[in-house]
């Protein structure tokens, strides 16, 4: 019974995600679903990406949170169009929420749409939004054992940003072990090491992302 209901939800979600994708494609908008644990640095990576691509790529942002509009307010200061979705308790974004958000964004003026999902390493991995890329922000203080514990999330993403590498001297985290574990779960994933505090690694990430947009 429970599984049947879940299947219905996912079925409906997939259909709505396909519609979102059609709309995004027709407007030439490249959409990226940004997922992570709470506090791994999703908003910081979004901000760094906006700064790195300023004047080159027109960016729009959808912020997903259970409550509050803190992230949307932070992003709006960068002068890009942003919509905040409050899920009101749901632990992930779904395609219908993105459909509503797309209707409230100036898609004709956006090349790259960054969708910041709810902070959660589990359920967001199960729900397509119509995005072209799924990316995961992992962070050094979370520890290098996370791929074992959240295999679907690590398996499902096209790229992984390992954020907060400036904290490597202060915590136990083996980058080689982490990288090998991730590659065992997901052979095709691209891994970028980054610090949003120092700016290290931002350019390499922005370059790869821009190349992905052109390949589409």
60, 81, 119, 130: which one binds its own copies (CB under 8 A): 119
Q: State how beta strands 190-193 and 133-139 pair.
A: unpaired
CA distance 184 to 190: 13
132 vs 195, beta carbon nearer its own copies: 195
Task: Decide: is 208 part of the binding site for its own copies (CB under 8 A).
Answer: no
Task: Decide: is 5 part of the binding site for its own copies (CB under 8 A).
Answer: yes
Task: Decide: is 66 part of the binding site for its own copies (CB under 8 A).
Answer: yes
Task: Decide: is 70 part of the binding site for its own copies (CB under 8 A).
Answer: yes
Question: Which strand (E) or helix (H) includes residue 13?
Answer: helix 2-26
103, 148, 174, 180: which one binds its own copies (CB under 8 A): 148
Q: At what angle do helices 2-26 and 95-102 cross, to 10 degrees?
A: 30
18, 22, 56, 68: which one binds its own copies (CB under 8 A): 68
Q: Is 106 exposed, middle or buried (0-12, 13-18, 19+ CB in 10 A)?
A: exposed
Task: Decide: is 168 part of the binding site for its own copies (CB under 8 A).
Answer: no
Q: How far is the CB of 35 from its own copies (least distance, A)?
A: 12
Under DSSP, is residue 185 helix (H, G, I), strand (E, B) or coil?
helix
Is residue 121 within 8 Å of 145, Cβ to Cβ? no
CA distance 56 to 123: 33
119 vs 201, beta carbon nearer its own copies: 119
How many residues of this chain interact with its own copies, rule: CB under 8 A?
Answer: 39
Phi-psi region of 57 (alpha: psi -120 to 50; beta: other; left: phi over 0): beta
61 vs 112, beta carbon nearer its own copies: 61
Q: How far is the CB of 77 from its own copies (least distance, A)?
A: 15
CA distance 166 to 154: 22
* Residues contributing to the site for its own copies (CB under 8 A): 1-2, 5, 9, 37-40, 65-68, 70, 89-91, 118-123, 139, 141-143, 145-146, 148-152, 164, 166-167, 170-171, 197
């Amino acid at each position: 019974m429970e599984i049947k209901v879940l299947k219905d939800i996912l079925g409906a979600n997939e259909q709505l995600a396909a519609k979102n994708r059609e709309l995004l494609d027709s407007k030439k908008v490249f959409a990226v679903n940004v997922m992570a644990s709470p506090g791994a640095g999703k908003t910081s990576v979004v901000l760094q990406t906006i700064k790195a691509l300023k004047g080159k790529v027109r960016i729009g942002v959808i912020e997903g949170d259970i409550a509050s509009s803190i992230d949307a307010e932070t992003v709006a200061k960068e002068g890009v169009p942003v919509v905040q979705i409050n899920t009101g308790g749901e632990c992930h974004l779904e395609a219908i929420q993105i459909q509503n958000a797309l209707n409230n964004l100036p898609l004709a003026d956006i090349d790259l749409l960054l969708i910041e999902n709810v902070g959660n390493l589990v359920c967001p991995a199960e729900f397509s939004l119509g995005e072209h890329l799924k990316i995961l922000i992992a962070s050094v203080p979370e520890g290098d054992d996370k791929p074992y514990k959240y295999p679907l999330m690590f398996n499902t993403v096209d790229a992984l940003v390992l954020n907060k590498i400036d904290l490597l001297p202060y915590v136990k985290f083996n980058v080689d072990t982490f990288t090998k574990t991730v590659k065992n779960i997901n052979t095709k994933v691209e891994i970028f090491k980054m610090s949003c505090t120092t700016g290290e690694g931002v350019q390499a990430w922005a370059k790869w992302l821009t190349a992905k947009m052109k390949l589409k």
